[in-house]
Structure 1
Amino acid sequence: MNKSRGRPRAGADDGRDRLLAAARDLFAERGYTGATLRAIATRADCDPALIAHHFGSKKELFARAMALSLGPSVVLETALRGDPTTTPERLAALVLRAWDAPAVHGSLTQLLATGMQHPEVLHAFREYIAKEIVGRLVEYFGGAAARERATAMVTIIIGLIFGRYVIGVEPLRSTPPERVIASLTPSLRAIAHQQRPLR
């Protein structure tokens, strides 16, 4: 294998497209967890450092490889920054702001449609959600009930995304964003500030 170290030279093949193609194949073949960055770089005949250069992280490489114009993990990380008491409002607002954008809505719908035809793609996406979304929320909440709280919050958000953007359930599909945020915030706040295990 002939791999150059460091950043690519100007005008040279920078390996980005080959990394995306290799990632797409390996995520489908091995799932999100099984497709290591080293294996992706080897398949693409690239230096592993180019993944960080072009994509920053495995989760962002996955988002690009799966044609998501905005990775859900980026939305979550943005929501978790700032005052913890207002995290629920930020999360609801950021999800709506992100997925109301036609490019994001379209890429998510395309991924789900592809997953229906190719179960291995859906499997990789489920692993991504489990690790980068549920896992990150478990870490954020901490404590004995962290996984239950993370699961409850993700259930609400996935329900919102699926109902509003994928199948377009009324009146959810056409409700103004500010009203959706107001409706979701009490439930998200109850989960975020829950101190005892959920029953």
Structure 2
Amino acid sequence: MTTAEQPTPRKKTGRRPGGADTRRTVLEAARAEFAARGYEKAGMRAIARAAGVDAALLHHYFGSKDRLFMAALEFPVEPKAVVELVLAGDRATVGVRLAEFLLGLWEQPGVLDRMLALLRAAATTEQVAQLMREFVQEELVRRAAAELGLDQPELRTELMLSQVIGLAMARYVIGVEPLASASREELLPLLAPTFQGYLGGA
């Protein structure tokens, strides 16, 4: 058979292969799906269909829906890590562990910027606020409350979160002094007892 007689290769069809462009497409589809259906109702399969990929690729990239959500919204901290920190070790020192973790986390490059961007978006856009509420309630509050073994565990967890959000707004957004310029060493002994009271039961 001559070159002119050779058949034209068929174009491959099927799901989109993996790669940087595919990851961006998946994240765009995830943002749209979460915005349209909320965190709880959004499904990995629906996101995969919208992105034109196999659902297995989403699990390969992200592992689970909560990790996909964090990547899509650039969430600065994994709630599971916070829950594990709260529950690990002596309950009498949970306040110190949590305060050290948060103060250290906010000093990591890029984390504070992402956190503040989400807080500002949630404060001005109800859609973002609703997504944040659902995500935090499902992945942090309920998980921690189920293991705390204290009275009113969900309320205690939400009070702790209100303390964290209020601190972030006052220290980093509004810039209230002397809080804004206080060092970690100054803040730690003041924050730790408050967190301990909420989550340690003491």
TM-score range, shorter chain: 0.7 to 0.9
- For the pair shown, the structure with the greater C-alpha radius of gyration is 2
- Within the alignment, does 1:73 sit opposite 2:79 as a pair? yes
Instruction: State the alpha-carbon separation in 2 of the partners of residues 167 and 26 from structure 1.
Output: 33
Contact 2:38 2:134 in 1 (8 A): yes
What is the count of residue pairs matched by the alignment?
189
Q: Which residue of 2 aligns with 1:126?
A: 133
What is the Cα deviation at residue 141 of structure 1?
0.9
Identity of aligned residues (%): 35
State the TM-score, normalizing by the size of structure 2. 0.80
Summarize deviations over 1:133-185 as a string: whole Å, max 9, x none: 21222122135421222222222222222222232222221110122111011
Secondary structure, aligned partner of 2:35: helix
Contact 2:26 2:51 in 1 (8 A): yes
Q: Take 1:63 and 1:111, find their aligned partners in 2: how far apart are those partners?
A: 11
Matching residue of 2:44: 37
Q: Give the superposition deviation at 1:102.
A: 4.0
**Where does residue 103 of structure 2 map in the other structure?**
96
Question: Residues of 2 paired with 1:33 and 1:190: CA distance?
Answer: 30
Shift of 1:118: 3.6
User: Which amino acid in structure 2 is aligned with residue 184 of structure 1?
Assistant: L
Measure, in 1, the Cα distance between the counterparts of 2:165 and 2:141: 11
- Give the counterpart letter for 1:158 in structure 2: I
Q: Which runs of no fewer than 5 residues in structure 1 stay unpaired?
A: none
Within a 5 Å distance, the mapping from 1:107-126 to structure 2 comes to: 107-126=114-133
* One-letter amino acid of the counterpart of residue 182, structure 2: T
Normalised to the residue count of structure 1, the TM-score between the two structures is 0.81
Query: RMSD of the alignment, in Å?
Result: 2.5
Q: Which runs of 5+ in 2 are unaligned?
A: 1-12
In structure 2, C-alpha distance between the alignment counterparts of 1:31 and 1:122, rounded to whole Å: 11
Query: Hey, what does 1:57 align to over in structure 2?
Result: 64
Paired residue type of 1:124: L
CA 1:154/1:115 → structure 2, altered by over 3 Å: closer, same or farther?
closer
Alignment-derived partner of residue 136 in structure 1 = 143
Is residue 114–residue 121 contact of structure 1 (8 Å, CA) maintained in 2? yes
Per the alignment, residue 85 of structure 1 pairs with 92
Aligned equivalent of 2:15 = 3
| 1:40–1:142 Cα change, 3 Å | farther
**Contact map agreement 2:44 2:65 (CA 8 A) in 1:** yes
Deviation at 1:78, TM superposition (A): 4.8
Whether contact under 8 Å (2:91, 2:200) holds in the other structure is no
The code of the aligned residue for 1:164 comes to: R
Which shows bigger deviation, 163-172 or 34-43?
Answer: 163-172
| CA gap 1:83/1:194 in 2 versus in 1, 3 angstroms | closer
Aligned to 1:151: 158
User: Deviation of residue 2 (structure 1)?
Assistant: 3.1
- Please tell me the residue identity of whatever aligns with 1:73: P
Contact 2:105/2:111 (<8 A) preserved: yes
